Amino acid sequence: MIDNENTFSVNKEPGDTLIVVDVQNDFMPGGALAVTDGHEVVPIINRLSPGFDHVIITQDWHPPGHVSFASTHNDLPFLKRNVGYGEQTLWPDHCVRGTQGAELHPGLIRPTMELAELIVRKGRDAKRDSYSAFIEADRHTHTGLHAYLTTHKVKRVFVAGLALDYCVAATAIDAANLGYETYVVLDACRAVSEAAMALADERMRYAGVRYTRSTMIRTYW
């Protein structure tokens, strides 16, 4: 667990950007790849979003037969398999484009969806997964988000959503490595497992990611 000693109070600055990661039905309780208490992030994100100059949303958007699906390999979920770009965890079929499970949680409609200026749909290629909102799992293919933020002269990003130990962590690590001052908003995230979270925490700290909480972000107006 991440304790309060490792969280920071932050004064909001113009240009700050909130990246809302994969708050989709399949990651909610009862979904195909449910994150425990995943629905609890929705009201926190909705409270946060009006305080940011830019709001970006990401969405897993897989075709049927995606390389990350255990069913594609006739294998069991949560095993690992080597694919063209390296080791891939196999997941239950989830966030298949055009299905209800791939849709964003309906509670995000107000106010977050109204403020969002970009939706990054990742994992669209059947042969390539994408945890990060910036760079896909082959570690060569960029989603275009970095170029977008650069165009808008964004210097600092705050990451929230699901799941903290996978797509949130991957997004935050890439953001930090690309030169953004990066914060993960802990109470606006939920994780899959303690074991995965311990590894993600280590990797995020190494990349220079900082942690904060929604109550520790002070607006500038």
Answer whether 199's CB lies under 8 Å from 164's CB: no
47-67: pLDDT as tens digits: 999 999 999 999 999 999 999
pLDDT > 90: percent of the chain: 90
Best CA proximity match to 209, nearest among 174, 160, 167:
174
Count Cβ atoms below 10 Å from residue 78 Cβ, excluding itself. Answer: 10
Three-class HEC string of 23-38: CEHHHCCCCCCCCCCH
Mean pLDDT of 95-118: 92
**The predicted structure's pLDDT at residue 221:** 43
Task: Pull the structure tokens for residue 211.
Answer: 């942690």
Q: Is 95 a catalytic residue?
A: no
From the list 16, 60, 129, 167, the catalytic residue is: 167
**The predicted structure's pLDDT at residue 113:** 87
To the question of pTM greater than 0.75 for the whole model, the response is yes
From the list 16, 26, 122, 174, the catalytic residue is: 122
Whether residue 5 has pLDDT greater than 70: no
1 residue type, one letter: M
133-143: pLDDT as tens digits: 999 999 999 99
- d(CA 113, CA 12) in angstroms, rounded, equals 21
Three-class HEC string of 149-190: HHHCCCCEEEEEEECHHHHHHHHHHHHHHCCCEEEEEEEEEE
Q: Is 153 a catalytic residue?
A: no
- d(CA 200, CA 195) in angstroms, rounded, equals 9
60-95: pLDDT as tens digits: 999 999 999 999 999 999 999 999 999 999 999 999
From the list 16, 22, 165, 174, the catalytic residue is: 22
Whether residue 161 has pLDDT greater than 80: yes
CATH number of the domain at 21-64+105-218, please?
Answer: 3.40.50.850
